[in-house]
Structure 1
Amino acid sequence: MDNLSEIFDIIIIGAGPGGYHTAIRASQYGAKVAIIEKNKVGGTCLNVGCIPTKALYAS
């Protein structure tokens, strides 16, 4: 297997709001990007925190 630094220009740890936004922006500039995430993309607030809680309150 090749060294990851030879395959990707940027490796981002964490796919929360900052991580996935950074990955999208870097790829728009032509970088080869990898994201390492142990849970769901979007982070805590998107998946189990702020947004799902507000949806329950509204229903």
Structure 2
Amino acid sequence: MIKNDFRLAFDIRILARNFDIRRQEKIKLSKNYFWVKFKNKLKQKISKNPFWVKFKNKLN
């Protein structure tokens, strides 16, 4: 398994497809994107913990 930022971002996108809003700490809605705050439970080097990931807003 490739352990880098691209792989981590890919895994988070897969996870976020079916995420439950009630289980998230905070949701910020904007015009075109919503930001989901994840805690880093993966043993990989990333810059922030917890960190923000940007997804396209499919709620509209």
TM (norm. structure 2) is 0.22
Q: Which has the larger radius of gyration?
A: 1
TM (norm. structure 1) is 0.22
Q: Which has the higher contact order (CA 8 A, sep 6+)?
A: 1
Which structure has the highest helix share of the two? 1
